[in-house]
Amino acid sequence: MDWLDLLAVQGTLKTEARALGPPWTPLLTGPLECLGAEGRLAHKLFRDLFANYTSALRPVADTDQALNVTLEVTLSQIIDMDERNQVLTLYLWIRQEWTDAYLRWDPDTYGGLDAIRIPSSLVWRPDIVLYNKADAQAPASASTNVVLRHDGAVRWDAPAITRSSCRVDVSAFPFDAQGCGLTFGSWTHGGHQLDVGPLGGAASLADFVENVEWRVLGMPARRRVLTYGCCSELYPDVTFTLLLRRRAAAYVCNLLLPCVLTSLLAPLAFHLPVDSGEKVSLSVTVLLALTVFQLILAESMPPAERKYYMATMTMVTFSTALTILIMNLHYCGPSARPVPAWARALLLGRLARGLCVRERGEPCGQSRPPESSPSPQPPDRGTGPPAGPCREPRCLCRQEALLRHVATITNTFHSHRAAQRRHEDWKRLARVMDRFFLGIFFSMALVMSLLVLVQAL
């Protein structure tokens, strides 16, 4: 129990004893008089120390002497990291230590009492504030006690919830690492009046409560001496840099993995038959799904370049455009021009054999041999019964009419067959292009997905 609490209890019991009457007064006040010796010494010490003390002035014997303040920070909890507004909220334990030249005593004079705890508002306190504060409210001092020792050493421990600005870079999301600095320094005292320095090389993480989203790598401290535009004096400060790495497992499962699986569906549009009528619909659906993922990220993250999502959306856009081009080749009608010779030799020849694009019943690796058009054979003039008004078996008028009809039928058949062959060539060229782009885009999607997933391991 603190000596101030003991004095308060003593006063309360004395009041109750007086209210109960004379029989109870000696019984209640007698033991307190024996136990209150240390309290009376502490009370006397308090009156002696603060008889002529003021908390308005810097407690140094020489005004030209700088007062050294040691700052120690203990990280307790990461309350929130607002990436969009770039604000970090922390729960800290801040310890400040300095020496007050006017609060010293001899412990032997006061019964060996070498330390007392008094309200912090009674002593002088350094005006150390958080420079990169991101809160609109005025800083409020914690109403905690200070520990005052006989040699004038003052230790002030106070909890604080800080909201500081932090430059967040989410270009590598969700495998990003952040470094957020918290700069503490005096607001009005220059370096020749108040010198602030860290206690140790880093903040303490002994009482840190683990965060589900961020992994703390460390919190090193660094002392700096800077000059600001408002003043010519040098101002020392202490910057604690909180090093964070995002725990990417939840984001991989909830955002990245669905995007990877969706991007792998985009090349399958080339494998879908053209006659199904769903090639373009599949590509557009994949593109819309990726757009939804991009909007979800844009709502919670600050504007940044997301390379994987942009590369995936670009790939899906190109695959949709190529799908439309291939469908146009597939639906070339009988009136279309023949396949160019270079395309027939390169695409329908070598590329078709390499990709095993073949007709039904044709073995893989062999191209279809060109078909020669059958030439019409004239009918045998030495045979055939006589017909018509001509009684001669070899009448020239009859044979010329028959040849004209046969030639017409043959030309019509060959024209129809040639148009059908041109249509089949274009359809086969479309299948070759489908197979080629299927391998290209599937390889691209697989490589990009593997590169992203390897970063998570």
Answer yes or no: is 92 within a domain: yes
Domain boundary among 246, 270, 299: 246
Does 415 or 197 have the greater pLDDT score? 197
Answer yes or no: is 160 within a domain: yes
- Tell whether 165 and 264 lie within a shared domain: no
Instruction: Compute how many other C-beta atoms are within 10 angstroms of the C-beta atom of residue 401.
Output: 12
Answer yes or no: is 189 within a domain: yes
DSSP E strand boundaries for 150-274: 153-165, 177-186, 194-198, 214-218, 221-227, 234-246
Q: How confident is the model at residue 418 (pLDDT cuts 50, 70, 90)?
A: low
Instruction: Say how far apart CA 141 and CA 41 lie, in whole Å.
Output: 30
- Tell whether 274 and 195 lie within a shared domain: no
- Tell whether 282 and 241 lie within a shared domain: no
Q: How confident is the model at residue 379 (pLDDT cuts 50, 70, 90)?
A: very low
Of 16-20, 301-305, 389-393, 447-451, the one with minimum mean pLDDT is: 16-20
Predicted TM-score (pTM) of the model is 0.67
Q: What angle do CA 249, 254, 257 make, to 5 degrees?
A: 80
Answer yes or no: is 162 within a domain: yes
Does 7 or 135 have the greater pLDDT score? 135
Answer yes or no: is 365 within a domain: no
- Tell whether 142 and 208 lie within a shared domain: yes
Report the pLDDT value the prediction gives residue 124, as an integer from 0 to 100.
Answer: 93
What is the secondary structure of 26-87 as a DSSP string?
A: HHHHHHHHHHTHHHHHHHHHHHHHTSS--SSS---SSTTSPEEEEEEEEEEEEEEEETTTTE
Q: How confident is the model at residue 219 (pLDDT cuts 50, 70, 90)?
A: very high
Residue 424: both structure tokens together: 């089949």
What confidence tens digit (pLDDT) does each residue in 318-368 have? Answer: 888 888 888 887 777 666 677 777 877 777 777 877 777 766 545 555 555
Q: Which residue has the tokens 């695409």?
A: 347
Q: Give the residue numbers spanning the domain of 97.
A: 39-246
Instruction: Say how far apart CA 20 and CA 348 lie, in whole Å.
Output: 115
Task: Kindly give, in sequence order, each residue whose CB lies less than 8 Å from that of residue 381, ignoring residues fewer than 6 positions away.
Answer: 394, 399
CATH code, domain with 74:
2.70.170.10
- Tell whether 203 and 128 lie within a shared domain: yes
Report the pLDDT value the prediction gives residue 76, as an integer from 0 to 100.
Answer: 95
- Tell whether 219 and 87 lie within a shared domain: yes
CATH code, domain with 438:
1.20.58
Domain boundary among 246, 270, 301: 246
Per DSSP, helices labelled H in 100-197 are: none
- Tell whether 315 and 441 lie within a shared domain: yes
Longest dimension (CA), the chain: 168
Answer yes or no: is 15 within a domain: no
What confidence tens digit (pLDDT) does each residue in 27-60 have? Answer: 344 443 444 567 788 889 999 999 989 988 999 9
Answer yes or no: is 396 within a domain: no
User: Residue 104: exposed, middle, or buried by beta-carbon count in 10 A (0-12, 13-18, 19+)?
Assistant: middle
The total domain count for the chain is 2
Domain boundary among 217, 246, 275: 246
Answer yes or no: is 157 within a domain: yes
CB burial string 5-26: b at 16+ within 10 A, e below: ebbeebeeeeeebeeeeeeeee
N- to C-terminal Cα distance for the chain?
A: 54
Does 300 or 143 have the greater pLDDT score? 143
- Tell whether 271 and 342 lie within a shared domain: yes
